[in-house]
Amino acid sequence: MPNAALPAFDFLAQRRSHPAKLMTGPFPSRAELEAILTVALRVPDHGKLEPWRLVVLDRAALARLADLAEARAVALGGDAEKIGKGRGQFDKGLLAVAVISSPKSHDKIPVTEQMLSAGALCFAVLLAAEAAGWGANWLSGWPSHDAAFAAQAFGCTGAETVAGIVHIATFAGDMPDRPRPDLARVVTWA
Ligand SMILES: Cc1cc2nc3c(=O)[nH]c(=O)nc-3n(C[C@H](O)[C@H](O)[C@H](O)COP(=O)(O)O)c2cc1C
């Protein structure tokens, strides 16, 4: 489990996601999750538009979404692999937070900025959960990009889309970190 007692910079230097499919219980209680979401909702948001909303998914909700993903896969003519990939995170998940990008009509703040805020909120939920000592993983998957699934699962309407589904639970084991970006390749000093 990540060390929640580290100073902020050290925590950020060491933090990493943990695969949702390998996480176990326990997972945050409602009060613990509310504390995480309160911190995460300090996310930058140009113009205070609040262009996002959150849907908390408990085990029963995740089970419903697994069945919904399967029904959508069948309706789309998908094969067993598509059904399996669609159900996967919902079958295995214990607690997740769906971040819905919900852009508002505004004459100065473009939708792209509002979607960036939703992406930042996904990362903020991830960071806050990890900082509180939980394992977390930001997932999408094909159902997230399927408008009919998003409408039925999360009530997405109009321009609303799924920015991400952040799973939060316990990761007890340890795995090698993924390779991290080489500054020389991605940073230009102008
Ligand atoms: C928008 C978005 C969607 C993602 N969807 C998935 C996914 O569906 N499945 C997956 O294995 N990883 C997915 N990832 C990758 C993981 O969330 C994560 O970036 C990776 O495990 C390494 O995370 P870390 O840098 O926090 O350790 C996604 C990442 C982003 C930013």
Proportion of the chain above pLDDT 90, given as a percent: 94
Pocket of ligand 1 (CB under 6 A): 16-17, 137-141, 164, 178
Q: CB of 166 within 8 A of CB of 97?
A: yes
Alpha helices in the chain, H assignment, sequence order? 8-14, 30-40, 59-75, 80-92, 111-131, 147-154, 183-186
Question: What is the residue type of 106?
Answer: H
Mean pLDDT over all residues of the chain? 96
At 91, the amino acid letter reads D
Closest ligand 1 atom to Cα of 141: 8
Specify the pLDDT at position 27.
98
Over residues 125-135, mean pLDDT? 97
- How does pLDDT run across 94-109, given as a tens digit for each residue? 999 999 999 999 999 9
User: pLDDT, tens digit, for every residue of 34-90?
Assistant: 999 999 999 999 999 999 999 999 999 999 999 999 999 999 999 999 999 999 999
Atom in ligand 1 nearest the alpha carbon of residue 137 = 17
**Which two tokens mark 81?**
């692999």
Written as one letter, the residue type at 4 is: A
